[in-house]
């Protein structure tokens, strides 16, 4: 770069971003100067290498959907139903008993013949050939808080940035009038904001949380509308402000910080309109609204997600619901069926819609929970009928679709009963490494210096990109 | 005679039994060695068996020139110091030795020699190493002290050298003398002195975090020193500077974690620490005392109700990490390391520090200090109980008794059941592999019948330590694990406890499970028969070193899910009561030394189940004299504080003065204020840093004289504006970071300065000090921002958007972003709109033509220019006074300090 009066170091130091921002050029290695020089931490930046996906929609079935009742059929489990499993049960949070056969029917779908249960029948019948099921995912701990954080931040307990923050830090946002990372939930998932925190990354990379129980758009984002000033009056205010600020600046020579703040008001003014617009699903055709079923919170969330990624938002997470809805410790047969009914249609609609709009090519869709459930029935601690499954981190399914993913493909395997990932095991860190790869990053090199160490999403121990799932 | 057919005097027999089982090569050696002395035997054993094995299988990668993972096995000092993972051998304890862990392939992530090379050692070879270590790891090789590249770099590193104040020319301001000397070398010019208005504004924001009053703006250059003194004497000084320390101290009013919502998330007495810090700054408490109080106020002979006890909130206000104690301690070590010493000690949790001379042994020395502390439920009262506070005291006392009684009842029942179920525990460990749940107990939901994983873990440790042929209790266990044949005569001859021999003979076990069950019953029956702790069998169940005992405070971890939830809920009520009673007298969030202190061992790779070398509780090697001694006062917190607060510690004073400098100049002298390790380049202004550090110590570790010195310098008083000359442009190019300090930095107000300034200029700021926190979004909250509730989860958008410090971890310096969300706050937030309304109300009484000048005076402390006045008048022609007031409140002029 050839700015006469400022070196890059000086810009990094002074441009609107200050301290932590200094680490950026090192981490991106490739050309990141455009973004950094513009002084805007959300300016779009190229990743390490050509990306297969530019954005992520994560459908988060929080609570732990059961793999053996959804994407990982286990005939052997059915055979052993009601009997003690010959391999014994693995340690999970609670005591478990005999094998619990899946109450759901499985079928093969699409050209590929991908297996899926009736719970996700709509999604599978329309999109099996687009979906890549990782059947051999595993985590560390059979407990929600730790596993939620692991899935979102790569660490179970420590304060670490979420993968959405890492991606926004690495890539910026393609739309300067919208946040780079949005997370939606009707209520709050377990471990709430620690799931989308930026931790030691600058706060701007934290997920913007929308409580989708609220249906009024102006209530979804803080300060998005003035409670009393019209846009016209605000325009007059902004013009005066700009004039006063320009006179102030003129007496002080060039100062990028002063300039950046002046600019930020123009951005904010546009954001008021654009963000409101992005979340307004009533602008969609009736056909689209019906496709998603916008009257359900799940349909509305996913349609908003599409509208956001369409406008350049990098990462959108849609949680299924408050606390941990998929946590079927009891009445799994009814509960899982109900939960599937809530989201199967909207998920199928999202994939259909993304594909129709040509967005699926470079949008990565992730769907899964923080862990799976035990093939063995849970023994209720306080007594009562055993009708559910306990948490199971030893093996579970997560599926990917869209940008750069091999569709109609099941990767890895759990044991014959679906307890433990045994073939081509994929740790959560490996999922992260793979997502980063799809988004154009080498997970070992997307780092940030904090407290004397270079941190990365995938942690200290070696993580592996699952090359087999890449198209 | 023993089974090997060798003579068996008591001492020699023991030795032989240890050394020579059941390996044929060893037997030959024993025969050759005859009855030579122990050392001779060990020496021969080493030379004939250990050395050749090490040479053949280890030296290639762990020799002098290779030293992979920094580990050398070709000299004794090599394994003593160990590699990245810490010492390789714990003499006498094969189970705790990393070397044995590695060669036995027990650990998926540490298999040595690597499977892909020559592969695993033979069983006989592993046994040779095991015996050698068990016997004390006699090693005649000695070897020079291992000096690594890090040691060499540390010996030269600027920050580890004693503070060396430079000579100052008399009659010159020392700061300017040092800075201008360097400027002259570079032939650099400096900017003009800032005008008084700019300087006063800079100073009030720096020292008080507030805009100047009209009277203050009238300060003259001659009156400036007195003006600074007055600001330092103002209570608002502490409210500003405490906040800087609270960033470092990762202060929060909230708990974090499972079900921490609503009132349950509140730490009702966190505020006492915040108030302590404010008072400490206002009183100019010497920084060394500040350190001692925060780490060890309980050991300073303070009055039992001294408000200074609240200092220990430093240790107790961190995150809860889902009740994982190891992480809580890690957080404390990290805080002490980075906060006081500028060292990232927490990096040494799993391996020796990658950059700094901090072996993992040092980490666990400090681990032992903090693991020896406990936070009492009954916190000391540090404020008077007034009438309104009495109901709390009564309710609390009753609840506390309930907690204590339940704790004891649960504890007694748990211990009793655990003793009774000894056979179940032993059968379980004899028939299963260790499970991860045995170390990560915090997440389990147990049924009443389940074995307690922590107890299982400790039983496994007992067996790992004692299942060897010479053990008078578990010798037969060892034998039977290898071959299920009862050898009563041999066992008796080896001195095995007769009850074990008889019990096993009577049980006639045919499986290992039956052996274990028999063992369990023999041990349990010894206890039921009334044997005491001194008895080798009953002692297992009765002694504090045994697998059954645990501190009663930990009882919740041993309860089944339902009683555990109920008990934890009960404990939670202690805080809930305090939250509910707003008038409760203040209590300090102290720690005490625990009933039983922790004698730490290194956790290999940070894994608490992989227990390695024991280390004393003591200070860091790099900052200690050659004859480093263990800490002597209890857990050692006071010793630790004294070592940190020592004038000969090269780091503490430097780290603090660097922070002070940063808050005055916007940029520190040492780039990362919490990392003075080898990654920290020698600062350009090292002589200045050392001068300040020494000045600080010479002035009794007081910060106010330091402020006065800094603020009286020409360097501080320079203009931030650069004249548009070629020379200045050139300087800017050469030294864009202004490391030579030839101008001042313009700075944006931080969250607190911004919010407080908005309240101050509208005349609404409520100057009430101290006490319980208020909600920042509460519209009636007009107090300074430092008194707002600091959240850990669901942080209010305003706080997050304006780069507030992350309360999860120590923050050396806030990030600074400029984003549209901040502008949205300025445009649309009720907070800003209300301030605009407040201004408009004041202006309502002012004559229309005077409103614009008055507004400028109120908000910006000056009259408008003609152009500004005209524009504003035009605006008012179609806009409201509220709207105009809002514009003024969000100008760059108010939001930046020149």
Nearest residue in A to B437, CA atom: A91
Question: Are B729 and A262 an interchain contact pair (Cβ–Cβ within 8 Å)?
Answer: no
d(CA A444, CA A27): 10
Please give the helix or strand (H or E) that residue B625 lies within, else none.
none
Chain A residues with CB under 8 Å of B884 CB are 240
A4 and B356 in contact by Cβ < 8 A? Answer: no
Please give the pLDDT value at position B164: 97
Per-residue pLDDT of chain A (471 residues; tens, 9 = 90+): 232 333 333 333 333 333 333 333 333 333 333 333 345 778 888 999 999 999 999 999 999 999 999 999 999 999 999 999 998 899 888 889 999 999 999 999 999 999 999 999 999 999 999 999 999 999 998 889 889 999 999 998 888 999 999 999 999 988 888 889 999 999 889 888 889 988 888 877 888 889 999 988 888 888 999 999 999 999 999 999 999 999 999 989 778 789 889 988 988 998 898 999 999 999 999 999 999 999 999 999 999 999 999 999 999 999 999 989 999 999 999 999 999 999 999 999 999 999 999 999 999 999 999 999 999 999 887 778 999 999 999 999 999 999 999 999 999 999 999 999 999 999 999 999 999 999 999 999 999 987 777 899 998 888 999 999 999
**B793 contacts in chain A (CB < 8 Å):** 192-194
Encode B644-681 in three state secondary structure.
HCCCCCCCHHHHHHHHHHHHHHCCCCCCCCCCCCCCCC
Compare CB distances from A146 to B322, B833, B875 and report the shortest one's residue: B322
Do residue A93 and residue B257 have CB atoms under 8 angstroms apart?
no
Residue B647's contacts (CB-CB under 8 Å, 6 or more residues apart) are B288, B653, B697
Q: Which of B744, B796, B819, B852 should be substituted to probe chain A, the one whose Cβ sees the most A Cβ atoms within 10 Å?
A: B819
- Helix, coil or strand: residue A98: strand
Shortest CA distance from A461: residue in chain B: B109
The DSSP secondary structure of B456-486, one letter per residue, reads HHHHHHHHHHH-STT-TTTHHHHHHHH----
Residue B31 pLDDT: 37
Instruction: Residue A89: name the closest of A426, A415, A424 by CA.
Output: A415
Q: What's the pLDDT score for residue B40?
A: 75
Predicted pLDDT at A287: 97
Are residues B343 and B676 in contact, defined by beta-carbon separation less than 8 angstroms? yes
User: Most B CBs within 10 Å: which of A3, A203, A429, as the mutation test of the B interface?
Assistant: A203
Q: What is the CA radius of gyration of chain B?
A: 34
Residues B813, B665 contacting (CB under 8 angstroms)? no
B206 token code pair: 């720096």
Tens of pLDDT along B517-549? 999 999 999 999 999 999 999 999 999 889 999
Could you tell me if B346 and A451 are in contact, meaning their C-beta atoms sit under 8 angstroms apart? yes
> How far are the Cα atoms of B9, B193, B706, B714 from residue B664, in angstroms, in the given order?
77, 16, 11, 13
Stretches in chain B below the pLDDT threshold 70: 1-39, 117, 258-259, 436-443, 609
With 0-12 / 13-18 / 19 or more C-beta atoms within 10 angstroms meaning exposed / middle / buried, residue B359 is buried
Q: How far is A312 from chain B (nearest CA, A)?
A: 16
Classify residue B50 by its DSSP letter.
I
Q: What own/partner pairs with CB < 8 Å and gap ≥ 24 does B303-307 have? A: B304/B380, B305/B380, B305/B381, B305/B382, B305/B383, B306/B382, B307/B272, B307/B275, B307/B276, B307/B279, B307/B382, B307/B383, B307/B586, B307/B588
> How far away is chain A from the Cα of B257, in angstroms, using its nearest Cα?
6
Peptide bond preceding B113 in cis form (omega within 30 of 0)? yes
Instruction: Please list every residue in chain A whose beta carbon sits closer than 8 Å to the beta carbon of residue B445.
Output: 93-94, 381
Residue B130: closest CA among B521, B548, B469? B469
Query: Which chain B residues are within 8 Å of A203, Cβ to Cβ?
Result: 800-801, 803-804, 806, 815, 817
Q: How confident is the model over B427-486, as pLDDT tens digits?
A: 999 998 877 666 665 667 888 888 998 899 899 989 988 888 889 999 999 999 888 999
Q: Which residues of A touch B895 (CB under 8 A)?
A: 261
pLDDT for the residue B586? 97
Of B346, B794, B871, the CB nearest to A243: B871
Phi first, then psi: what are they for B632, rounded to 5°? -115, -25
**Residue range A350-388, pLDDT digits in tens:** 999 999 999 999 999 999 999 999 999 998 877 789 999
d(Cα B836, Cα B886) in Å, to the nearest integer? 5
Indicate yes or no: CB of B732 within 8 angstroms of CB of A194: no
Q: Contact B81/B146 with Cβ under 8 angstroms?
A: yes
CB-based contact A237 B879, cutoff 8 Å: yes
What does each C-alpha distance from B360 to B334, B389, B602, B614, B786 come to in angstroms? 13, 48, 7, 12, 37
B898 CB neighbour count, 10 Å cutoff: 21
Q: Report CB contact under 8 Å: A91, B800.
A: no
Q: Encoding tokens for residue A456? A: 């990365």
Q: Give pTM, 2 decimals.
A: 0.85
Buried b (16+ CB within 10 A) or exposed e, B879-891: bebbbbbbbbbbb
Question: Of A419, A422, A387, nearest to A74 (Cα)?
Answer: A419
Q: What is the mean pLDDT of chain A?
A: 89
Nearest CA in chain B to A222: B797
Whether the Cβ atoms of residue B672 and residue B812 lie closer than 8 Å to each other = yes
| Residue in A4, A226, A241 nearest the CB of B890 | A241
Work out whether strand A181-185 and strand A114-117 pair parallel, antiparallel, or are unpaired: unpaired
Q: Distance between alpha carbon A267 and the CA centroid of its chain, in Å?
A: 26
Contacts of A206 in chain B (CB under 8 A): 800
């Amino acid at each position: 770069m050839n700015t006469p009066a400022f070196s890059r170091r000086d810009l990094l130091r002074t441009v609107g971003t200050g301290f932590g921002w200094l680490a950026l050029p090192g981490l991106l290695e490739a050309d990141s100067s455009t973004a950094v020089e513009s002084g805007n931490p959300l300016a779009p930046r190229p990743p390490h290498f050509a990306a297969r996906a530019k954005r992520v929609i994560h459908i988060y079935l929080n609570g732990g959907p059961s793999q053996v009742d959804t994407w990982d059929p286990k005939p052997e489990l059915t055979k052993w139903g009601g009997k003690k499993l010959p391999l014994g049960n693995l340690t999970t949070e609670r005591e478990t008993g005999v094998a619990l056969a899946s109450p759901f029917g499985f079928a093969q779908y699409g050209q590929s013949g991908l297996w899926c249960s009736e719970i996700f029948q709509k999604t599978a019948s329309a999109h099996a050939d687009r979906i890549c099921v990782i059947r051999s995912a595993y985590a560390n701990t059979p407990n929600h808080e730790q596993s939620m954080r692991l899935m979102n931040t790569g660490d179970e307990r420590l304060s670490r940035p979420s993968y959405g923050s890492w991606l926004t830090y690495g890539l910026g946002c393609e739309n300067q009038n919208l946040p780079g990372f949005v997370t939606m939930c009707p209520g709050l998932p377990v471990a709430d904001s620690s799931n989308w925190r930026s931790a030691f990354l600058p706060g701007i990379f934290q997920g913007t949380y929308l409580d989708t129980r609220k249906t009024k758009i102006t209530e979804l984002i803080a300060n998005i509308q003035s409670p009393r000033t019209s846009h016209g009056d605000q325009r007059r205010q902004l013009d005066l402000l700009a004039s006063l600020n320009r006179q102030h600046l003129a007496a002080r020579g060039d100062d990028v910080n002063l300039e950046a703040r002046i600019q930020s008001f123009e951005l904010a003014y546009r954001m008021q309109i654009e963000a409101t617009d992005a979340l307004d699903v009533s602008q969609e055709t009736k056909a689209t609204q019906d496709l998603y079923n916008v009257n359900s919170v799940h349909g509305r969330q996913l349609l908003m997600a599409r509208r956001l990624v369409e406008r350049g938002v990098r990462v959108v997470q849609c949680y299924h619901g408050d606390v941990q809805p998929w946590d079927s410790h009891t009445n799994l047969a009814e509960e899982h069926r109900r939960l599937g009914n809530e989201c199967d249609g909207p998920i199928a609609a999202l994939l259909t819609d993304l594909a129709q709009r040509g967005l699926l090519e470079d949008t990565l869709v992730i769907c899964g929970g923080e862990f799976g459930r035990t093939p063995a029935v849970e023994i209720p601690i306080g007594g009562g009928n055993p009708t559910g499954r306990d948490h199971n981190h030893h093996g579970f399914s997560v599926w990917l679709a869209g940008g750069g993913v091999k569709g109609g493909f099941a990767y890895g395997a759990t044991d014959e009963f679906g307890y433990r990932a045994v073939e081509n095991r994929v740790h959560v860190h490996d999922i992260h490494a793979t997502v980063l790869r799809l988004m154009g990053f080498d997970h070992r090199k997307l780092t940030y210096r904090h407290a004397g160490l270079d941190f990365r999403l995938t942690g200290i121990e070696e993580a592996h990109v699952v090359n087999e799932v890449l198209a | 005679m023993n089974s090997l057919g060798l003579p068996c005097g008591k001492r020699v027999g023991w030795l032989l039994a240890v050394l020579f089982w059941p390996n044929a090569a060893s037997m030959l050696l024993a025969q050759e060695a005859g009855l030579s002395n122990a050392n001779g035997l060990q020496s021969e054993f080493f030379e004939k068996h250990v050395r050749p094995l090490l040479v053949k299988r280890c030296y290639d990668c762990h020799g002098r020139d290779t030293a992979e993972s920094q580990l050398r096995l070709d000299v004794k000092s090599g394994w003593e110091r160990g590699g990245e993972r810490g010492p390789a051998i714990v003499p006498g304890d094969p189970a705790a030795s990393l070397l044995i862990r590695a060669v036995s392939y027990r650990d998926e992530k540490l298999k040595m020699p690597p499977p892909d090379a020559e592969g695993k050692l033979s069983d006989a070879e592993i046994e040779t190493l095991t015996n050698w270590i068990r016997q004390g790891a006699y090693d005649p090789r000695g070897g020079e002290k291992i000096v690594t590249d890090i040691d060499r770099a540390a010996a030269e590193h600027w920050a580890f050298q004693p503070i060396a104040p430079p000579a100052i020319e008399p009659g010159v301001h020392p700061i300017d003398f040092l800075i201008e000397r360097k400027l002259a070398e570079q032939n650099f010019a400096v900017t003009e002195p800032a005008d008084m208005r700019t300087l006063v504004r800079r100073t009030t924001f720096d020292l008080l975090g507030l805009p100047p009053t009209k009277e203050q703006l009238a300060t003259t250059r001659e009156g400036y020193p007195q003006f600074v003194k007055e600001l330092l004497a103002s209570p608002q000084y502490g409210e500003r500077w405490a906040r800087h320390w609270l960033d470092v101290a990762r202060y929060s009013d909230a708990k974090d974690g499972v079900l921490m919502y609503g009132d349950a998330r509140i730490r009702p007495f966190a505020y006492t620490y915040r108030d302590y810090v404010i008072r400490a700054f206002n009183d100019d408490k010497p920084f060394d005392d500040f350190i001692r109080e925060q780490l060890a106020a309980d050991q300073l002979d303070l009055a039992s109700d001294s408000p200074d006890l609240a200092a220990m909130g430093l240790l107790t206000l961190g995150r809860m990490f889902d009740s994982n104690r190891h992480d809580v301690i890690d957080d404390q070590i990290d805080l002490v390391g980075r906060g006081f010493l500028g060292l990232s000690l927490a990096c040494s949790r799993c391996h020796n520090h990658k950059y700094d001379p901090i072996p993992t042994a040092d980490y666990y020395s400090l681990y032992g200090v903090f693991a020896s502390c406990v936070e009492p439920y009954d916190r000391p009262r540090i404020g008077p109980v007034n009438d309104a506070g009495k109901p709390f005291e009564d309710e609390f006392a009753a609840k506390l008794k309930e907690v204590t009684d339940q704790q004891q009842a649960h504890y007694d029942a748990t211990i009793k059941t655990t003793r009774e179920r000894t056979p179940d525990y032993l059968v379980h460990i004899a028939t299963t592999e260790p499970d991860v749940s045995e170390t990560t107990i915090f997440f389990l939901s147990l049924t009443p019948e389940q074995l307690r994983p922590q107890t299982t873990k400790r039983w496994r440790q007992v067996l790992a330590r004692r299942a060897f042929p010479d053990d008078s209790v578990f010798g037969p266990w060892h034998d039977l694990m290898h071959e299920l044949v009862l050898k009563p005569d041999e066992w008796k001859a080896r001195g095995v406890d007769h009850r074990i021999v008889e019990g096993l003979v009577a049980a006639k076990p045919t499986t290992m499970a039956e052996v274990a069950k028999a063992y369990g019953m023999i041990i349990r029956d010894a206890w039921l028969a009334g044997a005491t702790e001194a008895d080798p069998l009953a002692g297992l169940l009765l002694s504090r070193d045994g697998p059954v005992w645990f501190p009663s405070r930990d009882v919740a971890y041993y309860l089944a899910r339902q009683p555990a939830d109920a008990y934890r809920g009960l404990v939670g009520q202690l805080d809930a009561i305090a939250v509910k009673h707003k008038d409760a007298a203040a209590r300090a969030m102290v720690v005490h030394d625990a009933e039983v202190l922790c004698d730490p061992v290194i956790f290999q790779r940070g894994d608490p189940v992989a227990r390695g070398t024991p280390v004393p509780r003591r200070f860091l090697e790099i900052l200690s004299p050659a004859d480093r001694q263990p800490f002597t006062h209890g857990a050692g917190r006071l010793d630790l504080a004294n070592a940190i607060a020592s004038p000969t510690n090269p780091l503490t004073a430097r780290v603090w003065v660097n922070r002070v400098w940063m808050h005055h100049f916007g940029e520190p002298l040492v780039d990362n204020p919490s990392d003075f390790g080898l990654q920290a380049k020698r600062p350009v202004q090292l002589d200045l840093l050392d001068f300040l550090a020494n000045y600080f110590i010479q002035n009794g570790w007081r910060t106010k004289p330091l402020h006065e010195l800094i603020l009286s310098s020409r360097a501080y008083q320079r203009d931030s504006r650069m004249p548009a000359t070629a020379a200045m442009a050139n300087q800017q190019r050469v030294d864009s970071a202004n490391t030579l300090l030839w101008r001042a930095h313009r700075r944006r107000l931080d969250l607190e300065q911004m919010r407080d300034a908005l309240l101050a200029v509208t005349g609404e700021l409520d100057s009430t000090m101290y006490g319980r926190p208020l909600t920042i979004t509460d519209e009636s909250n007009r107090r300074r921002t430092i008194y707002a509730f600091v959240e850990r989860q669901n942080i209010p958008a305003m706080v997050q958007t304006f780069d507030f410090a992350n309360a999860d971890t120590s923050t050396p310096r806030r990030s600074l972003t400029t984003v549209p969300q901040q502008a949205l706050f300025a445009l649309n937030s009720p907070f800003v709109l209300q301030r605009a309304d407040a201004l408009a109300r004041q202006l309502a009484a002012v004559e229309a033509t005077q409103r614009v000048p008055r507004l400028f005076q109120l908000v910006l402390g000056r009259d408008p220019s003609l152009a500004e006045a005209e524009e504003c008048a035009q605006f008012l022609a179609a806009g409201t006074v509220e709207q105009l007031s809002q514009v003024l409140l969000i100008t760059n002029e108010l939001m930046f300090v020149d």
